[in-house]
């Protein structure tokens, strides 16, 4: 390699070693070309095929991973943020590419990050067909890095999930999240570390473990649970609950003049969310528009398909809750307090 380039802070040989490691981790010997190739299997080719693509990152949750020196699950977050979006469109995930930009190629750290990406792809039933690792010492600090991903799925055009499939009287079925997932971390970090000065080692009784464990829970990937529903055409629309919380994301799954009415108390809320609300003096609107409140996906299902949907989810050992219904109304998302006895 160029000795001058290494003196400038870029170690190309380290990048080659990373590529070797990714090939071993993924089992894909074709990685390393100028582009990734993915053959569509006969069963994946739709009658009127539509490719559905999604791209996303992990956001400032990366700063938690960096501070904790714990990088093995952040790649799962990356895959989840992308693949759950294309599932919500009704697409079967096919392949994934990643981008890792960093200040210094620490091979052990990069391997840990990419182990998570490979594990996420396995959970999502996707193939990792390529990516890029870019060492940019003047762009990032020595310990800092950023992650982005790109997922592609396929669907029949007629099977795409759109808001137009939704009707008044449809039922909202919530799939639980694995905690905060990968959203709202700028607010989380502000409350916990800037406002109050807590450490990652701090243990809150209501959590039962330290903040590092709680904050680095990987985002749940819903492929195994949702694909059977798509194959059986049981779902009218899906909302993946990411940035914007329940309010913004569920609204995206509804047509105009219909409202998703949630019955508060019909599903469990992870303890970290009321804890953050208390410590940050957050309003109910703040919490609902920032965090997932314990629901990583909301399925909108016609009433006559509810039993079949719940049975299919149970067959995948996926917990699910009936959390409300679709009503006529101008406000897209409404929260109803539980009735008192």
**pLDDT tens digits, 297-331:** 999 999 999 999 999 999 999 999 999 999 999 99
Distances 331 to 188, 255, 261, 334 between C-alpha atoms, Å: 28, 11, 9, 7
Compare 62 and 10 and report the one with higher pLDDT. Answer: 62
What number does CATH give the domain 3-159?
Answer: 3.30.1330.10
Average pLDDT over residues 202-224: 97
- Coarse DSSP helix, strand, coil percentages of the chain, rounded to the nearest 5 percent: 40, 25, 40
Residue 51 confidence (pLDDT) above 70 = yes
3-state secondary structure of 124: helix
- Cβ neighbors of 170 (< 8 A, separation 6 or more) are 236, 300, 301, 302, 303, 325, 326
Strand 171-176's sheet: what is its strand order?
237-240, 295-301, 171-176, 321-328, 258-263, 333-336
Closest by CA to 262, choosing from 207, 326, 341, 335, is: 335
Domain extent listing, the chain: 3-159, 163-336
Q: In which element (H, E) is residue 123 found? A: helix 107-124
Candidate CATH numbers 3.30.710.10, 3.90.650.10, 3.90.79.10, 3.20.20.150; the one for domain 163-336: 3.90.650.10
Percent of the chain with pLDDT over 90: 83
What local confidence, expressed as pLDDT, does residue 340 receive?
46
The tokens describing 71, both together, are 């990088």
The tokens describing 76, both together, are 């799962």
What local confidence, expressed as pLDDT, does residue 341 receive?
41
Which region among 31-35, 54-58, 274-278 has the lowest average model confidence (pLDDT)?
31-35
Average pLDDT over residues 255-277: 97
Neighbours of 224 (CB within 10 A): 13
CB 220 within 8 Å of CB 296: yes
The pLDDT confidence band at residue 180, using thresholds 50, 70 and 90, is very high
Residue 14 confidence (pLDDT) above 60 = no
Residue 17 confidence (pLDDT) above 80 = no
Closest by CA to 88, choosing from 219, 249, 248, 244, is: 249
The pLDDT confidence band at residue 37, using thresholds 50, 70 and 90, is confident
The pLDDT confidence band at residue 338, using thresholds 50, 70 and 90, is low
3-state secondary structure of 74: helix
Residue 81 confidence (pLDDT) above 80 = yes
The tokens describing 298, both together, are 């909301």
What local confidence, expressed as pLDDT, does residue 40 receive?
74
102-119 confidence digits (pLDDT tens):
999 999 999 999 999 999
CB 163 within 8 Å of CB 237: yes
How far apart CA 114 and CA 144 sit, in angstroms, is 15
The pLDDT confidence band at residue 32, using thresholds 50, 70 and 90, is low
Residue 18 confidence (pLDDT) above 90 = no
What local confidence, expressed as pLDDT, does residue 31 receive?
64
How far apart CA 326 and CA 258 sit, in angstroms, is 7
292-305 confidence digits (pLDDT tens):
999 999 999 999 99
How far apart CA 36 and CA 312 sit, in angstroms, is 34
| Tokens 């989810």, located at residue | 313
136-161 confidence digits (pLDDT tens):
998 999 999 999 999 999 999 999 99
Average pLDDT over residues 193-213: 97
105-111: which pairs have CB atoms within 8 A and are 24 or more residues apart?
A: 105/11, 105/14, 105/15, 105/18, 105/133, 105/135, 107/14, 107/17, 107/18, 107/21, 109/71, 110/18, 110/21, 111/18, 111/21, 111/25
DSSP bridge pairs for 54: 151
Q: Tell me if 3-159 shares its fold with 163-336.
A: no
How far apart CA 328 and CA 257 sit, in angstroms, is 6
Residue 185 confidence (pLDDT) above 90 = yes
148-161 burial code (b ≥16 CB/10 A, e <16): bbbbbbbbeeebeb
What local confidence, expressed as pLDDT, does residue 36 receive?
73
Average pLDDT over residues 161-173: 97
């Amino acid at each position: 390699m160029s000795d001058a380039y290494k003196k400038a802070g870029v170690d190309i040989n380290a990048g080659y070693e990373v590529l070797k490691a990714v090939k071993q981790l993924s089992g894909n010997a074709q990685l390393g070309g100028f582009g990734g190739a993915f053959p569509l299997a006969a069963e994946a080719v739709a009658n009127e095929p539509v490719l559905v693509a999604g791209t996303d990152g992990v956001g400032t949750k990366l700063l938690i991973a960096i501070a904790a020196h714990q990088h093995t699950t952040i790649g799962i977050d990356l895959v989840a943020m992308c693949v759950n979006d294309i599932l919500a469109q009704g697409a079967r995930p096919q392949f994934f590419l990643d981008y890792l930009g960093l200040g210094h190629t620490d091979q052990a750290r990069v391997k840990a990050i990419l182990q998570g990406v490979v594990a996420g792809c396995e959970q999502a039933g996707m193939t990792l067909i390529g990516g890029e690792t870019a060492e940019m010492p003047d762009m990032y600090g020595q310990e800092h890095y950023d992650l982005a991903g790109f997922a592609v799925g396929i669907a029949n055009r007629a099977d795409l999930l759109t808001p137009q499939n939704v009707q008044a009287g449809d039922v909202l079925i919530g799939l639980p999240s694995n905690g905060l997932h990968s959203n709202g971390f700028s607010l989380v970090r502000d409350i916990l570390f800037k406002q109050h000065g807590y450490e990652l080692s701090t243990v809150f009784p209501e959590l039962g473990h330290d903040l590092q464990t709680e904050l680095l829970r990987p985002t749940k990937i819903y492929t195994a649970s949702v694909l059977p529903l798509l194959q059986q055409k049981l779902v009218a629309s899906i909302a993946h609950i990411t940035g914007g919380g329940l309010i913004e994301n569920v609204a995206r799954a509804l047509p105009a003049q219909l409202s998703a009415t949630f019955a508060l108390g019909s599903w469990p809320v992870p303890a970290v969310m009321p804890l953050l609300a208390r410590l940050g003096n957050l309003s109910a609107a703040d919490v609902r528009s920032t965090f997932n409140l314990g629901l990583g996906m909301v399925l909108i299902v016609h009433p006559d398909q509810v039993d079949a949907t719940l049975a299919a989810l149970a067959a995948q050992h996926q917990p699910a809750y009936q959390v409300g219904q679709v009503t006529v109304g101008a406000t897209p998302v409404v929260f109803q307090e539980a009735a008192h006895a």
